[in-house]
């Protein structure tokens, strides 16, 4: 059986490959994030292809994994990235919402200096006393209804300026919060943070109406106003 990626994964990987090309010209944090998302998406697709349980805390390993994922890295060009750099980039992606919030607070000068994953992870982890990757929580079972709602959200976002480059994964609390943070980072300055707060509230109300208040109260809901942090001097 030949490994193939679905359309959404292929789109994320393609964006990551373009970003890797740009990184060879200039070291910029947003490009590293795009590369990190691409590697994450490719790894998830490969784990699904090889039937590896994504909820286990240990990273995938073994001869089969090394051969298949190594071949994918070579095909995409991500094998050119030093293995240690890829490892630290993955750690950054594990804490991406927190890192983006931290970057808002460190000032413009350091934000412009801290671009490479080695630099970002070193300063962020020292600041917060983090020594290891974030443990994975057991993945929530993806119900057909959740998969359908995820696709609807993707379809809506693709209509926005630049939305074709976004992908939202709502399968776990961590990925829901990361998706929300990514949305705010990209569209906060465009629409204004009060508008995004209102949009989040309307989505919450719609979800409650659709699923029934009793069921919704038993689920872990991603915060609306907490992730819509307003950068200093940001648009209103």
Q: What confidence tens digit (pLDDT) does each residue in 112-129 have? A: 999 999 999 999 999 988
The first and second tokens of residue 221, run together, are: 């809901």
Question: What value, to the nearest 5°, has the Cα angle with vertex 143 and ends 141 and 147?
Answer: 110
**pLDDT tens-digit series, residues 85-99:** 999 999 999 999 999
The residue whose two tokens read 């629409």 is: 191
Note whether 36 and 92 are within 8 A (CB): yes
Looking at residue 41, its pLDDT comes to 92
- pTM as predicted: 0.59
Confidence check: pLDDT of 142 > 60: no
Res 52: pLDDT? 85
Q: Say what the pLDDT of residue 229 is.
A: 43
Sign of the torsion angle spanned by Cα atoms 90, 93, 95, 99 = positive
In terms of Cβ atoms closer than 10 Å to its own Cβ (0-12, 13-18, 19+), residue 62 is exposed
| Residue 139 DSSP SS3 | coil
**Residue 134 DSSP symbol:** P
60 falls in which pLDDT band (50, 70, 90)?
confident
């Amino acid at each position: 059986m030949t490994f193939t990626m679905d359309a959404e994964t292929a789109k994320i990987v393609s964006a990551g490959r373009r970003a890797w090309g740009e990184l060879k010209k200039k070291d910029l944090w947003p490009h590293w994030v795009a590369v990190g998302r691409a590697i994450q998406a490719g790894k998830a697709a490969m784990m699904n292809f090889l039937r590896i349980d994504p909820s286990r805390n240990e990273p995938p390993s073994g001869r089969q994994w090394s051969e298949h994922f190594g071949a994918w890295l070579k095909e995409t060009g991500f094998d050119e990235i030093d293995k240690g750099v890829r490892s630290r980039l993955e750690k950054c992606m594990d804490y991406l919402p927190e890192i983006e919030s931290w970057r808002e607070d460190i000032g413009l000068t350091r934000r412009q200096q801290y671009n490479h994953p080695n630099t970002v992870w070193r300063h962020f982890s020292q600041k917060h006393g983090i020594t290891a990757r974030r443990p994975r929580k057991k993945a929530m079972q993806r119900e057909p209804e959740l998969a359908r709602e995820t696709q609807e959200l993707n379809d809506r976002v693709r209509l926005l300026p630049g939305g074709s480059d976004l992908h939202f994964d709502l399968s776990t609390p961590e990925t829901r919060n990361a998706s929300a943070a990514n949305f705010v980072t990209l569209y906060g300055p465009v629409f204004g943070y009060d508008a995004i707060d209102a949009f989040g509230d309307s989505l919450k109300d719609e979800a409650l109406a659709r699923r029934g208040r009793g069921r919704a109260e038993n689920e872990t809901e991603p915060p609306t106003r907490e992730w819509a942090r307003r950068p200093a001097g940001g648009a209103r």
